[in-house]
Structure 1
């Protein structure tokens, strides 16, 4: 099973080897999708965890016990084609290249598989054509 979460690191926790401990102690593969963590400062990391559902639950509990904040709000970015005018502004802030446009049409292309759901594109769109659509909780 895979689960995408956002971890919020307080200053005290930025030096912990989180990905290593998840692999060794919980048999969880942690694919880091985006990270902004500086030494001696707080930080954020978007990570995709893969493993057995029970191991994932135990790993998330351990992360919280280490003082990390976890955002489990699962959702995905959606682009409203009727509102989008293909201006391309959102492509300049997309860190993964999920939003792109190219000649000759310059029409916006969205690759959901590459999307990190970092939400940087949402406030950038002047036409409010991009939104986070939350998935219902299980």
Structure 2
């Protein structure tokens, strides 16, 4: 099972090797999608957890005990097709190739199943046609 979560670390927990502990203690793989981490600051990670549902739930419970706030990431990327000018700038920053340009029509294609909601495309769009929903 896969579960995408946002982890918020208090500044005293940033040095903790969380992804190592998830793998070693809970047999849960973690794919870091987005990270905003700095010493002595509250930090955030958007992580995709992969493993058995019971192991993922145990890992989430453990993180809560470590004062790490875990929230389900349920946002999705939304593209306003009326505003989009099909410039393709977003395709250059998309790490999963969820955003591509059709080679014949040069129209933007969005493959939602590939999107990991890293949000790198949002600030790249010159006409602000890309956003997230909640």
After TM superposition, the structure 1 = structure 2 runs for residues 64-75 of structure 1, keeping only pairs within 5 Å, are 64-75=64-75
Contact 1:89 1:124 in 2 (8 A): yes
Contact 1:89 1:125 in 2 (8 A): yes
Of stretches 111-120 and 39-48 in structure 1, the one that deviates more from structure 2 is 111-120
Q: Distance between the aligned counterparts of 1:112 and 1:8, measured in 2?
A: 26
* Structure 1, gaps ≥5 residues long: none
CA-atom RMSD in angstroms: 2.8
* Structure 2, gaps ≥5 residues long: none
User: Which residue of structure 2 lines up, in the alignment, with residue 116 of structure 1?
Assistant: 116
Does the alignment pair 1:44 with 2:44?
Answer: yes
1:78 deviates by 3.0
After TM superposition, the structure 1 = structure 2 runs for residues 16-55 of structure 1, keeping only pairs within 5 Å, are 16-55=16-55
* Pair 1:36–1:96, CA change in 2 (3 A): farther
Q: Distance between the aligned counterparts of 2:81 and 2:133, measured in 1?
A: 15
1:105 deviates by 5.6
Report the count of equivalent residues: 134
Q: Distance between the aligned counterparts of 1:48 and 1:124, measured in 2?
A: 23
1:38 deviates by 1.6
Contact 1:46 1:116 in 2 (8 A): no
TM normalised by structure 1 equals 0.73
1:112 deviates by 3.5
* Pair 1:51–1:66, CA change in 2 (3 A): same
TM normalised by structure 2 equals 0.75
Q: Distance between the aligned counterparts of 1:11 and 1:60, measured in 2?
A: 19
